[in-house]
């Protein structure tokens, strides 16, 4: 079982409303993939189909080539945290995990092991009702990791985490990915997961609008340089084999990895430089352009109030 998630032509309609529309993507082992889209884009619905919680209207979702419902050992194959709030408020974190451990045929000791792993050992005896959002997220993560699964699916795991928590989560997920696990995390904020993910799938209105590595999404690295002798500098840079174009707002924009390279060319050409800095695409801006005006929950109220059907959401 290679732990690859494969979604092919997946669609889900609730009545006449098409929440997920002919979606196809793959999620690779050993990488962290961000599943992104504004509120109501269809992320949770897709994840629920991948996890066999709701039936697709058409298309398929498989994990290591097998639909979730046909997995022989689901708990050691896929761990998922879909919502951070579905804990019994009167139950302690330890008891919550023990219930899951016992259902999975694992020893009670797994509960404390997991609480330590996710950094909340002290939460063992505290009732989940009194947990902060960050603690609930970590408890959900601990539950998802119960069977040491190859695949981890987390719905908005950074939601409610403070900057320190986000940094912790980033390191934790990176460690799991380095062990070869497949990690899929959803978010409605690209900026929130930008530094965490290797790959991105961006959806809007239930459809994929962009897929690729985060570096592809950022585009080529550019250096912006401003000189009072722009023409001479442009010539020197072109002579050095670099692609140069006038930058928006003045100066030159050069495809290059390092500012040092540009500084040295300018120095050798005897051209003064007044400004020199690296530039990358503004991902937040790009995300906004790709998904602008697609929050269906804010659009047609008739859609927003569609009667919950299968799955009860
Ligand atoms: N059971 C259901 N019955 C009717 N409509 C539903 C049902 N479940 C989801 N929807 C609708 O499908 C659309 C996609 O919802 P979904 O929860 O998948 O979006 P999302 O991308 O996860 O959004 P968010 O970031 O707000 O969680 C929404 O417009 C939602 O109202």
ipTM: 0.95
Q: What is the CA radius of gyration of the chain?
A: 24
Domains 5-217+284-304 and 220-279 share a fold: no
Q: Which pLDDT band, with edges at 50, 70 and 90, does 124 fall under?
A: confident
pLDDT exceeds cutoff 90 at 161: no
45 Cβ inside 6 Å of ligand 1: yes
The C-alpha angle 80, 190, 139, rounded to 5 degrees, equals: 30
Q: Provide the edge-to-edge strand list for the sheet that holds 58-63.
A: 17-27, 5-14, 58-63
User: Which residue minimizes the CA distance to atom 12 of ligand 1?
Assistant: 19
Cα 3 to middle of ligand 1, angstroms: 26
CATH topology assigned to domain 220-279:
Alpha-Beta Plaits (3.30.70)
Lowest-pLDDT range of 1-5, 125-129, 282-286:
282-286
Give yes or no for residue 40 CB within 6 A of ligand 1: yes
pLDDT band (50, 70, 90) for residue 313: very low
pLDDT of 128: 83
Could you tell me the distance, in angstroms and rounded to a whole number, from the CA of residue 45 to the centre of ligand 1? 6
CA dist., res. 62 & res. 6, Å (int) = 5
Higher pLDDT, 191 or 312: 191
Residue 217 has pLDDT above 60, yes or no: yes
Buried/exposed 105-138: b ≥16 CB within 10 Å, e otherwise: ebeeebbebbbeebbbeebeeebbeebeebbbbb
Summarised one tens digit per residue, pLDDT across range 235-289 is 999 999 999 999 888 899 999 989 999 999 999 999 999 999 988 777 887 888 8
CATH 3.30.1330.10 fits domain 5-217+284-304 = no
Is 82 a pocket residue for ligand 1 (Cβ < 6 Å)?
no
Per-residue confidence at 310, pLDDT binned at 50, 70, 90?
very low
Look at residue 116 in the predicted model and tell me its pLDDT: 94
Q: Write down the domain spans for the chain.
A: 5-217+284-304, 220-279
């Amino acid at each position: 079982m290679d732990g690859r998630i494969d979604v092919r032509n997946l669609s889900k309609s609730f009545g006449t409303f098409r929440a997920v529309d002919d979606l196809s993507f793959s999620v690779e082992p050993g990488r962290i993939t961000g599943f992104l889209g504004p509120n109501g884009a269809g992320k949770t619905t897709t994840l629920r189909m991948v996890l066999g919680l709701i039936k697709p209207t058409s298309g398929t979702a498989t994990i290591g080539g097998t639909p979730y419902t046909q997995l022989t050992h689901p708990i050691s194959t896929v761990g998922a945290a879909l919502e951070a709030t579905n804990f019994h408020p009167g139950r302690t974190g330890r008891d919550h995990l023990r219930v899951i451990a016992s259902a999975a045929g694992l020893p009670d000791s797994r509960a404390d092991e997991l609480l330590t792993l996710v950094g909340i050992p002290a939460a063992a005896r505290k009732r989940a009702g009194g947990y902060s959002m960050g603690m609930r997220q970590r408890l959900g993560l601990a539950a998802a990791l119960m069977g040491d699964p190859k695949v981890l699916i987390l719905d908005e795991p950074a939601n409610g985490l403070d900057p320190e928590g986000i940094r912790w989560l980033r390191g934790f997920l990176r460690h799991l990915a380095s062990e070869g696990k497949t990690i899929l995390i959803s978010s409605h904020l690209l900026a929130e997961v930008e530094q965490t993910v290797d790959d991105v799938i961006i959806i809007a209105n239930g459809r994929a609008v962009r897929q690729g590595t985060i570096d592809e999404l950022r585009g080529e690295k550019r250096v912006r340089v401003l000189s009072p002798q722009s023409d001479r500098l442009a010539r020197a840079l072109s002579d050095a084999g670099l692609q140069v174009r006038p930058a928006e707002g003045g100066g030159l924009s050069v495809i290059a990895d390092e500012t040092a390279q540009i500084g040295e060319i300018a120095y050798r050409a005897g051209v003064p430089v007044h400004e020199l800095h690296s530039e990358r695409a503004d991902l937040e801006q790009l995300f906004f352009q790709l998904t602008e005006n697609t929050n269906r929950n804010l659009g047609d109220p008739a859609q927003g109030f569609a009667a919950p059907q299968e799955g009860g959401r």
